[in-house]
């Protein structure tokens, strides 16, 4: 491959960086839009009393979980390269969190 | 340890300034682990809350009779948006645009402060109708959970505020980038917790 | 020396030791204890044999360097799989027994007793017969008796080792279990959850009677209880001195048997305050200063100003007269 | 002063170790008082109330202020050396963690001087712990809270240190087992302490600020505390035992002169124990009334832990098999550990049989079980580690002769104390009783038990003598004091320079020092030339941050009696903490460099002594 002069490659790079950051920007905006959407869904469902009580719980929690994963994976970039241990530890934390809540929900009376 | 860090020719910063140095990487990893612990912390609070939902409260002070959707929705929007602005700040940090980074951080702070004000308003309202920290087990659990979250917001405001002031006149570099980045992770986490609070505490409370 | 000591004390005291079961519950439990013990001894022997062998055989003799072994998949597989098998053998009876011991609902259809723990004493209520007593739980033999448990203050735990394992009494929450005694007899019960300074003294007794005796006992109790309720009132003017003191000073708490232990059959009881020999001297000290015998007890002491010495004598006489047979 | 501001992991390790030993003595004295009260039936040496304070403080002190800190001491002193690092990832946080623990411990023990120590057991079950007159529990809630923050920080710090600070070539599967167990135990800390934090906050709010989570009359539920406590409490016991396992896994190969048998399975067994540890806490609550389904599930889950633990036991045995075993004191403790811990593990599995636990629970059988695992496991591990690493940490060795006496007295005393307690439990003796009636079959066993405890007391005094003697001696030990060292810490000169490694080593495999020795090299390979070495600055801030919390905690307690004093203390203390935090964030701290010339001079001096 032919070597381009320095400043031209710099420009090229600059463009790439811009494009990259634009992609990232759009991605984040889309995530945000989805979060807002999920929030609307949740509030809307309750506001309009669309569901029987027993279904509402599951529905709301599922929406919340989706939204939280958007936060973790998109906003917080949990899945970045080199984050294996971070992801592992977060999942362990989530696991412990789930059994803790489940216990305090189910194992008291 | 001072590695020679490769700087990006365009931004003049390494690609990921928050973890370009060993110190930065340490902070980054440690903070994530801390958030892992916080997950369990809030789970314990949520568990307690779920276990004590409406327990000991008279009918008129039960969840479905006191929560107001409008205010919660407003607070949710504030906090969600602040999460986005925090992302924007970090993107600008990586692109080495200190001006815009500061701008978005200030917006984040303002939104956070708005949230906090709304929460204080909400608590005062409950206090007046008799739903207090000591009025019932439900009250205790409610204020503990939501209050812990509020305390996190408050701490976040001070933290990000301090960082902003301290670094107002300084360029973004591999020394302060991790600090900004980690505080932004913290802020997102606050939002994560709030998502569960508005879903489980408020919305579920309203239907149950 | 230790073996000798062990032999001396045998398996503990009859009527108390979990190793000398006197009822179905404790028998079931001892059986599974022995099953688990057998498995443990098996493992213990294997490990000990290997360990002793290794320690004898491989002492350092010279300065040579032994072969560096990385591991052995076969061996490691063996000592993963064998314990798993042993644990499965243990898990099956664990589950079945747990289920068996949880069958309180069925037992309650036959016979139901409410147990309420209070700071350092036990209240026993027979809801069907309308009888309340304290400190001594009377049960019929030969059948499972359903027990409801709760507490008025802190957590206690209801334990009669010779008859069955324990169940906690939680304030604000109800629990249930069943109790079974093979033969008539007296069994010792203990509070097994730390509940305050006199936790150690919160003992009680379980008295098992033949069904006929038991029915008779319930009837007598009911009759005595009703009679007392009618006679021992402040407007009755024909009270003896002892009765009058009782009515004035004791009745408000001890009356229903819910605030303080019922004294309906106090004269029949072997123990005072759950652990002391029931004699006059101790009883008097108890009335004068309960805290000296049971730190943290909620009963107030009565000074000479409140109950004179003569009145105290009369009261004590009255109390020892409180018998049903 | 240097000791207050230091951020050097070796010094912090020493601070942890000695604070831990101090609290071990306190907890031990409490244990002796407990045993003395129980020497005969209806003894009236102490009252029921005092007795409850003694057991509570004994349990709390031993677990939180003795065992954990001593383990942290070894972790600090050894782990960075084992992975070839110059320090931990966050030296500042390390110091903060220590001072938080220290002030938490001081606060807890201050309760003795303010009228009453906590008296609701180390488990502090509500509503016994929320009784207004149990003022000692205030100290429990706040003291543990503060020291708990310290543990959390230490945990995160070790995790990151182990992940990020390893020398080149030190792959995860080449790390010494003590480092691995530290890693897993730290992960447990990160997830186990938050529930305790929440529980303690709730306890504090209820006791001091009128909340009613545990008050049935106001809709509260007393079971919540039990869950939160045990969700923490069970992993906590593995936080204690795993590092002890790690210590044995270092000592046994060293003195058997043999590579650890089944290294890989050892690592995975450690992780599995840690993971399963979060799913079994209900075995402490079998009698609470959670129902047969919950009891069965948790019973079986608990039993499962026997499998990875058994794997470890057998791997140790087969490390010894075919080895060249040298019996010094460290090794004696290690080989004595196996059968002692085994008995504790067996009774643990017996306890996990839910229906049988209805009999054992809250009886002396449980006391026997957990002292067998804790003393026979953790304390043996601490003693073994002390003899083993003492030369590395202090440049002197403990007397082996005194050590034999100490070991044998302790070993005999330990079994004499706790073996009879199994029978006491089965005979019907509940735990936490300040006295017992005569003629119930409890006399003989209690007498034996008390005698045994005093054996351990004498043994501990001998240990103190040995420590003092070592410090007074002029002895200077060589690096690789035991001559059989396998891991990197033994390559270092004693006293170890503050930067540890003049040149970061290059790790070539598991037991890299051993490999190099076998290859005939006197020194391990290095991965870098001598350069300037970056070091962190000492700092006074951690001390003041912790002191601030300590003052605020005292204020929170006093605020009940005196609003003004209490709240001003709270305000002052929190202000001190937050200002310290602010300063930390405000003042740039880039550390400093030790110049290359200095490092070279050190190296030369050491080599001239012909030691390395
Ligand atoms: C270091 C501390 C430590 C350790 C390691 C353990 C280990 C275990 N513990 Fe223990 N435990 C405590 C500390 C510890 N415990 C404490 C402090 C308490 C009381 C708290 C309080 O109430 O105050 C307690 C209480 C306690 C209870 C509650 C008792 C009650 O209150 O009623 C139970 C019940 O299941 C239990 C079980 C176990 C089990 C199954 C293990 C297992 O991990 C043991 C595993 C080991 C082995 C089994 C041995 C080796 C295995 C083999 C050689 C393989 C072959 C074996 C078989 C097939 C069986 N423990
Ligand atoms: C790490 C944990 C740990 C350790 C090491 C120990 C060590 C010991 N423990 Fe205990 N213990 C617990 C944790 C621990 N314990 C817990 C959690 C409880 C439950 C508490 C509760 O119920 O809430 C408990 C409860 C407990 C009880 C039951 C109390 C009851 O239920 O009524 C008993 C009774 O025998 C006991 C005894 C002992 C003894 C004799 C030792 C011995 O091994 C101690 C040996 C050490 C010494 C003897 C030190 C001697 C010191 C000196 C000689 C001082 C010299 C002094 C100077 C020079 C200044 N402990
Ligand atoms: Cu009641 Cu112990
Ligand atoms: Cu456990």
The ligand 1 site (C-beta within 6 Å) comprises C 43, 47, 83, 86-87; D 123, 237, 240-241, 283-284, 302, 305-306, 309-310, 313, 342, 345-346, 348-349, 351-352, 357, 360-361, 366, 369-370, 373-374, 377-378
Give the pLDDT confidence score for residue B208 in this predicted structure. Answer: 73
Region D68-89: mean pLDDT is 95
Give the pLDDT confidence score for residue A52 in this predicted structure. Answer: 78
Q: In 3-state terms, what secondary structure has residue C30?
A: helix
- D287 contacts in C (CB within 8 Å)? 157, 165-168, 192
Please identify every residue whose CB atom is under 5 Å from ligand 4, which is an ion.
D 234
Q: A76 in contact with D at a CB cutoff of 8 Å?
A: no
Beta-carbon-side half-sphere exposure of residue B202 (alpha carbons within 13 Å): 26
Query: How far apart (Å, rounded) are the C-alpha atoms in residues D404 and D158?
Result: 33
Query: How far apart (Å, rounded) are the C-alpha atoms in residues B156 and D75?
Result: 32
Complete edge-to-edge strand list for the sheet that includes strand C204-209: C136-140, C204-209, C185-191, C156-160, C164-169
For residue C201, how far is its CA from the centre of ligand 3 (angstroms)?
A: 8
Element (H, E) at C169: strand C164-169
Is pLDDT above 60 for C3? Answer: no
Q: D211 in contact with B at a CB cutoff of 8 Å?
A: yes
Query: How far apart (Å, rounded) are the C-alpha atoms in residues B99 and B82?
Result: 18
Q: What is the pLDDT of residues B116-161, one digit of tens each?
A: 999 999 999 999 999 999 999 999 999 999 999 999 999 999 999 9
Residue of C278, C203, C208 lying closest to D440 (CA atoms): C203
Query: How far apart (Å, rounded) are the C-alpha atoms in residues B1 and D504?
Result: 12
Query: N- to C-terminal Cα distance for chain D?
Result: 32
Q: What is the pLDDT of residues D407-429, one digit of tens each?
A: 999 999 999 999 999 999 999 99
| Three-class DSSP labels, D15-38 | HHHHHHHHHHHHHHHHHHHHHHHC
Please, which residues bridge with residue D494 across strands? none
Radius of gyration of chain B from Cα atoms? 20
Q: Ligand 2 pocket: which of D371, D459, D464 to mutate (most atoms <8 Å of CB)?
A: D371
Residue of D132, D111, D149, D49 lying closest to D548 (CA atoms): D149
Complete edge-to-edge strand list for the sheet that includes strand C145-151: C131-134, C121-126, C112-118, C145-151, C175-179
**Contact D330/D388 with Cβ under 8 angstroms?**
yes
Q: Which is it for strands C112-118 and C145-151: parallel, antiparallel or unpaired? A: parallel
Q: What is the pLDDT along chain A (109 residues), one digit of tens a residue?
A: 344 455 667 777 778 777 877 888 888 888 888 888 998 888 888 888 777 777 888 888 898 888 888 888 888 888 787 788 999 999 999 999 999 999 999 998 8
> pTM of this prediction?
0.95
Radius of gyration of chain C from Cα atoms? 27
**Contact D225/D126 with Cβ under 8 angstroms?**
yes
Judged by CB atoms closer than 8 Å, whether chains meet at A107 and D294 is answered as yes
- B175 contacts in D (CB within 8 Å)? 588, 590
What are the residues whose beta carbons fall under 8 Å from the beta carbon of D454, sequence distance 6 or more?
D32, D35, D413
For residue C117, how far is its CA from the centre of ligand 2 (angstroms)?
A: 30
Distances (CA, A) of C207 to C18, C130, C156, D490: 17, 19, 21, 68
User: Closest chain D residue to A95 measured between Cα atoms?
Assistant: D278
Nearest CA to ligand 2 atom 24: D59
Residue of B55, B69, A109, C184 lying closest to D293 (CA atoms): A109
Judged by CB atoms closer than 8 Å, whether chains meet at D213 and B48 is answered as yes
Judged by CB atoms closer than 8 Å, whether chains meet at A14 and B10 is answered as yes
Residue of B173, B191, B169 lying closest to B181 (CA atoms): B173
Beta-carbon-side half-sphere exposure of residue D107 (alpha carbons within 13 Å): 32
Give the pLDDT confidence score for residue A1 in this predicted structure. Answer: 39
Query: How far apart (Å, rounded) are the C-alpha atoms in residues D339 and D377?
Result: 10
Beta-carbon-side half-sphere exposure of residue C22 (alpha carbons within 13 Å): 21
Q: D116 in contact with B at a CB cutoff of 8 Å?
A: no
Judged by CB atoms closer than 8 Å, whether chains meet at D231 and A92 is answered as no
For residue D283, how far is its CA from the centre of ligand 4 (angstroms)?
A: 6
Query: How far apart (Å, rounded) are the C-alpha atoms in residues D493 and D515?
Result: 19
Is pLDDT above 60 for C235? Answer: yes
- The size of chain B, in residues, is 208
Query: How far apart (Å, rounded) are the C-alpha atoms in residues D360 and D351?
Result: 7
For residue B88, how far is its CA from the centre of ligand 4 (angstroms)?
A: 46
Query: How far apart (Å, rounded) are the C-alpha atoms in residues C104 and C163?
Result: 15
Give the pLDDT confidence score for residue C8 in this predicted structure. Answer: 45
Query: How far apart (Å, rounded) are the C-alpha atoms in residues D89 and D434?
Result: 47
For residue C235, how far is its CA from the centre of ligand 1 (angstroms)?
A: 62
User: Lowest-confidence range among A81-90, B105-114, C154-163, D182-191?
Assistant: A81-90
Judged by CB atoms closer than 8 Å, whether chains meet at A108 and D278 is answered as no
Query: How far apart (Å, rounded) are the C-alpha atoms in residues D427 and D421?
Result: 10
Q: In 3-state terms, what secondary structure has residue C151?
A: strand
Q: Which is it for strands C164-169 and C112-118: parallel, antiparallel or unpaired? A: unpaired
Interface subset of D 150-179, CB within 8 angstroms of B: 152, 156-157, 159-160, 163-165
Interface subset of D 331-390, CB within 8 angstroms of B: none
Query: How far apart (Å, rounded) are the C-alpha atoms in residues D369 and D347?
Result: 6
Q: What phi and psi values does residue D95 have, to the nearest 5 degrees?
A: -65, -40
**Helices D400-426 and D329-352: angle between axes, nearest 10 degrees:** 10
Q: What is the pLDDT of residues B176-201, one digit of tens each?
A: 899 999 999 999 999 999 999 999 99
Interchain contact C/B (3 or more Cβ pairs less than 8 Å)? no
Q: What is the pLDDT of residues A74-85, one digit of tens each?
A: 888 887 877 889
Given phi > 0 = left and psi -120 to 50 = alpha, else beta, which region is C144?
beta
User: Lowest-confidence range among C63-67, D210-214, D461-465?
Assistant: C63-67
Query: How far apart (Å, rounded) are the C-alpha atoms in residues D236 and B178?
Result: 32
What are the residues whose beta carbons fall under 8 Å from the beta carbon of D69, sequence distance 6 or more?
D16, D17, D19, D20, D23, D101, D105
Distances (CA, A) of D24 to C203, D30, D37, D57: 34, 10, 20, 11
Q: Is the CB of D239 under 6 A from ligand 2?
A: no
Region D583-587: mean pLDDT is 87
Nearest CA to ligand 2 atom 47: D28
Q: Is the dihedral of CA C103, D298, D55, D198 positive or negative?
A: negative
Q: Which is it for strands C121-126 and C131-134: parallel, antiparallel or unpaired? A: antiparallel
**Contact C242/C314 with Cβ under 8 angstroms?**
yes
The ligand 3 site (C-beta within 6 Å) comprises C 117, 156, 191, 193-195, 199, 202
Q: What is the pLDDT of residues D359-387, one digit of tens each?
A: 999 999 999 999 999 999 999 999 999 99
Is pLDDT above 60 for B166? Answer: yes
Q: In 3-state terms, what secondary structure has residue C176?
A: strand
């Amino acid at each position: 491959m032919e070597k381009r002069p320095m400043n031209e490659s710099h420009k090229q790079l600059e463009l790439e960086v811009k494009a990259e950051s634009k992609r990232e920007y759009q991605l984040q905006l889309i995530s945000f839009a989805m979060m807002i959407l999920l929030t609307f869904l949740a509030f809307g469902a309750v506001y309009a009393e669309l569901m029987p009580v027993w279904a509402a719980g599951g529905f709301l929690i599922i929406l919340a979980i989706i939204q939280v994963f958007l936060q973790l994976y998109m906003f917080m970039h949990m899945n970045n390269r080199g984050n294996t241990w971070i992801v592992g530890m977060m999942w362990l934390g989530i696991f412990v969190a789930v059994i803790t809540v489940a216990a305090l929900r189910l194992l008291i009376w | 340890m001072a590695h020679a860090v490769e700087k990006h020719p365009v931004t003049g910063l390494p690609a990921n300034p928050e973890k370009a140095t060993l110190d930065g990487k340490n902070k980054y990893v440690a903070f994530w682990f801390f958030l892992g612990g916080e997950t369990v912390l809030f789970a314990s609070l949520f568990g307690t809350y779920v276990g004590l939902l409406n327990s000991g409260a008279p009918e008129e002070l039960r969840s479905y009779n006191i929560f107001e959707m409008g205010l919660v929705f407003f607070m949710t929007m504030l906090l969600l948006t602040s999460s986005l602005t925090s992302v924007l700040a970090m993107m600008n940090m990586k692109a080495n645009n200190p001006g815009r980074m500061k701008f978005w951080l200030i917006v984040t702070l303002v939104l956070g402060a708005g949230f906090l004000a709304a929460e204080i308003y909400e608590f005062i309202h409950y206090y007046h109708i008799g739903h207090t920290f000591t009025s019932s087990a439900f009250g205790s659990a409610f204020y503990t959970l939501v209050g812990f979250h509020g305390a996190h917001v408050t701490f976040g405001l001070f933290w990000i505020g301090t960082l902003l002031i301290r670094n107002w006149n300084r360029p973004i570099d591999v020394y302060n980038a991790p600090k900004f980045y980690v505080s932004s992770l913290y802020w997102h986490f606050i939002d994560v917790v709030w998502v569960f609070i508005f879903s489980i505490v408020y919305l579920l409370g309203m239907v149950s | 020396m230790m073996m000798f000591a062990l032999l001396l004390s045998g398996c503990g005291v009859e009527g108390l030791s979990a190793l000398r079961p006197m009822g179905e519950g404790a028998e079931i439990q001892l059986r599974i204890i022995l099953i688990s013990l057998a498995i443990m001894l098996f493992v213990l022997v294997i490990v000990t044999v290997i360990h002793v062998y290794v320690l004898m055989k491989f002492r350092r003799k010279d300065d040579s360097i032994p072969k560096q072994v990385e591991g052995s998949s076969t061996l490691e597989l063996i000592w993963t799989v064998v314990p798993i098998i042993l644990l499965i053998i243990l898990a099956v009876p664990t589950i079945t027994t747990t289920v068996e011991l949880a069958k309180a609902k069925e037992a309650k259809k036959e016979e139901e007793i409410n147990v309420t723990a209070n700071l350092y004493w036990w209240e026993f209520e027979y809801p069907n017969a309308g009888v309340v007593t304290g400190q001594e739980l009377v049960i019929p033999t030969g059948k499972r008796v359903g027990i409801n448990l709760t507490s008025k203050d802190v957590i206690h735990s209801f334990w009669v080792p010779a008859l069955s394992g324990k169940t906690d009494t939680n304030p604000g929450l109800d629990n249930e279990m069943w109790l079974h005694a093979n033969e008539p007899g007296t069994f010792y019960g203990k509070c097994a959850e730390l509940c305050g300074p006199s936790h150690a003294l919160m003992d009680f007794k379980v008295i098992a009677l033949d069904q006929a005796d038991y029915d008779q006992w319930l009837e007598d109790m009911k009759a005595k209880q009703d009679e007392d309720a009618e006679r021992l009132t402040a407007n009755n003017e024909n009270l003896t001195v002892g009765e009058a003191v009782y009515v004035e000073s004791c009745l408000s708490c001890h009356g229903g048997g819910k605030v303080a232990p019922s004294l309906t059959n106090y004269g029949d009881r072997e123990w005072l305050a759950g652990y002391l020999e029931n004699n006059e001297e101790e009883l008097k000290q108890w009335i004068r200063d309960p805290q000296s015998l049971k730190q943290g007890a909620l009963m107030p002491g009565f000074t000479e100003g409140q109950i004179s010495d003569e009145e105290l004598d009369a009261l004590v006489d009255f109390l020892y007269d409180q018998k049903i047979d | 002063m240097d000791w207050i501001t230091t951020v050097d992991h070796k010094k912090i390790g020493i601070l942890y170790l000695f604070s831990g030993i101090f609290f071990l003595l306190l907890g031990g004295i409490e244990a002796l008082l407990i045993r003395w009260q129980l020497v005969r039936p209806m003894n009236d040496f102490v009252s029921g109330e005092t007795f409850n304070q003694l057991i509570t403080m004994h349990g709390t002190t031993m677990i939180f202020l003795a065992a954990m800190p001593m383990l942290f001491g070894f972790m600090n002193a050894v782990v960075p050396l084992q992975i070839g690092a110059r320090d931990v990832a966050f030296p500042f946080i390390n110091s903060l963690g220590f001072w938080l623990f220290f002030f938490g411990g001081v606060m807890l023990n201050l309760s003795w001087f303010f009228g009453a120590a906590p008296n609701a057991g180390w488990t502090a079950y509500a509503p016994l712990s929320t009784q207004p007159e149990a003022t000692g529990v205030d100290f429990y809630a706040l003291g543990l809270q503060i020291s708990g923050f310290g543990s959390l920080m230490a945990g995160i710090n070790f995790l990151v240190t182990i992940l990020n600070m390893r020398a080149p070539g030190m792959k995860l599967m080449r790390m010494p087992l003590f480092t691995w167990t530290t890693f897993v135990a730290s992960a447990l800390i990160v997830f186990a302490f938050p529930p305790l934090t929440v529980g303690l906050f709730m306890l504090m709010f209820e006791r001091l600020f009128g909340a009613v989570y545990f008050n049935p009359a106001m809709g509260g539920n007393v079971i919540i505390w039990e869950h939160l406590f045990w969700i923490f409490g069970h992993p906590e016991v593995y936080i204690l035992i795993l590092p002890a396992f790690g210590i044995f896994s270092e000592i046994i190969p060293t003195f058997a002169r043999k590579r650890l048998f089944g290294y890989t399975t050892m690592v995975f067994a450690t992780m599995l124990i840690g993971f399963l540890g979060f799913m079994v806490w209900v075995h402490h609550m079998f009698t609470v009334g959670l129902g047969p389904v919950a009891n069965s599930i948790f019973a079986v889950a608990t039993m499962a832990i026997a499998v990875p633990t058994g794997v470890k036991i057998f791997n140790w045995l087969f490390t010894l098999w075919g080895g060249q075993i040298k019996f010094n004191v460290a090794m004696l403790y290690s080989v004595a550990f196996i059968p002692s811990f085994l008995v504790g593990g067996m009774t643990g599995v017996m306890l996990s049989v839910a229906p049988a636990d209805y009999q054992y629970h809250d009886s002396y059988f449980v006391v026997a079980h957990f002292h067998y695992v804790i003393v026979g496991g953790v304390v043996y591990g601490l003693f073994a580690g002390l003899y083993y690493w003492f030369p590395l940490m202090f440049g002197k060795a403990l007397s082996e002769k005194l050590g034999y006496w100490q070991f044998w007295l302790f070993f005999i005393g330990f079994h004499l104390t706790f073996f009879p307690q199994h029978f006491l439990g089965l005979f019907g003796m509940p735990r936490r009783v300040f006295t017992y009636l005569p003629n119930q079959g409890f006399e003989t066993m209690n007498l034996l038990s008390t005698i045994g405890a005093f054996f351990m007391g004498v043994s501990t005094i001998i240990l103190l003598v040995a420590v003092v003697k070592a410090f007074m001696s002029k002895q200077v030990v060589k690096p690789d004091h035991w001559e059989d060292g396998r891991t990197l810490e033994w390559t270092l000169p004693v006293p170890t320079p503050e930067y540890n490694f003049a040149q970061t080593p290059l790790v070539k495999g598991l037991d890299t020092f051993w490999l190099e020795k076998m290859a005939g090299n006197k020194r391990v390979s290095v991965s870098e030339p001598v350069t300037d070495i970056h070091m962190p600055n000492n700092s006074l801030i951690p001390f003041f941050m912790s002191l601030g919390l300590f003052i605020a905690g005292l204020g929170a307690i006093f605020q009940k009696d005196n609003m003004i004093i209490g709240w001003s203390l709270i305000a002052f203390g929190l202000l001190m903490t937050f200002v310290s935090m602010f300063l930390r964030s405000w003042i740039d701290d880039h550390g400093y460099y030790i110049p290359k010339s200095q490092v070279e001079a050190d190296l030369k001096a050491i080599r001239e002594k012909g030691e390395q």
